[in-house]
Amino acid sequence: MQNTEPTLKLRLWTVEEYHRMAEAGIFDADERVELLEGKIIWMIAKGTAHRSAVGRTDYLLKNRLGDRACVYIQDPVKLNERSEPEPDIAVVKVDPLDYADHHPTPTEVYLIIEVADSSLKLDCETKAKAYSQAGITDYWVLDVVSRQLHVFREPTEDGYQSEVILVENATISPLEFPDLSIAVLEMLPPIVG
């Protein structure tokens, strides 16, 4: 039997085209979108646990790292010509111009953290593959629902070769800052109850 489903060819966008669309006002001011693998995707709405975890992790990293790195929250990172996601947290090299002339690129990224309350599959599959292909060596997904940290390392073109899941009472150190010990619990929102 012949397959009657049409094969759809998608028109993928470049970062440059994505920026021109934004400048032309194609996206509403309140639309939250990002470019990933040439596709413009809606960013999932953030719940209170998500906001709390991002704030706690941002505060923790800024205090512990001091002037050794910059910590950006929900700002673009240019992975390649077709991907410019806005990770929840990006720990990047200090730039003398504070990235006024470009968004951080993979060679300038120490660590990317995504916080998942309803986006675990997207973060652990689609985004993990994009970050791995770009060569991001240290990628974490903080799951605020299961209260775990997924740690992805050893990037390849096919995805990360290492994924370790840490429970909330575990500790971890970023690859680039082995002297920095972080308890998963410190990043998670407190249990209200």
The mean of the pLDDT values for the chain is 90
Q: What is the mean pLDDT of residues 148-161?
A: 97
37: amino acid identity, one letter: E
C-beta separation of 27 from 21 below 8 A: yes
Would you report the helix, strand and coil content of the chain in percent, each value rounded to 5?
A: 25, 25, 50
- Closest among 166, 177, 103 to 137, alpha carbons compared: 177
Rg (CA), the chain: 17
Which H or E run includes 114? strand 109-116
pLDDT at 133 over 90: yes
pLDDT at 140 over 70: yes
The string of DSSP codes covering 114-180 is: EEESS-HHIIIIIIHHHHHHTT-SEEEEEETTTTEEEEEES--TT--SEEEEEETT-EE--TT-TT-
pLDDT at 79 over 80: yes
> Which pTM value belongs to this model?
0.86
Q: What is the mean pLDDT of residues 57-72?
A: 96
| 1 confidence band (pLDDT: 50, 70, 90) | low
**Per-residue pLDDT tens digits for 84-115:** 999 999 999 999 888 999 999 999 999 999 99
State residue 14's pLDDT score: 84
State residue 5's pLDDT score: 66
Strands 162-167 and 171-172: unpaired
pLDDT at 188 over 90: yes
The structure tokens 């910059």 sit at 70
C-beta separation of 130 from 139 below 8 A: no
pLDDT at 170 over 80: yes
**Per-residue pLDDT tens digits for 17-61:** 887 888 888 878 777 777 778 787 877 667 788 999 999 999 999
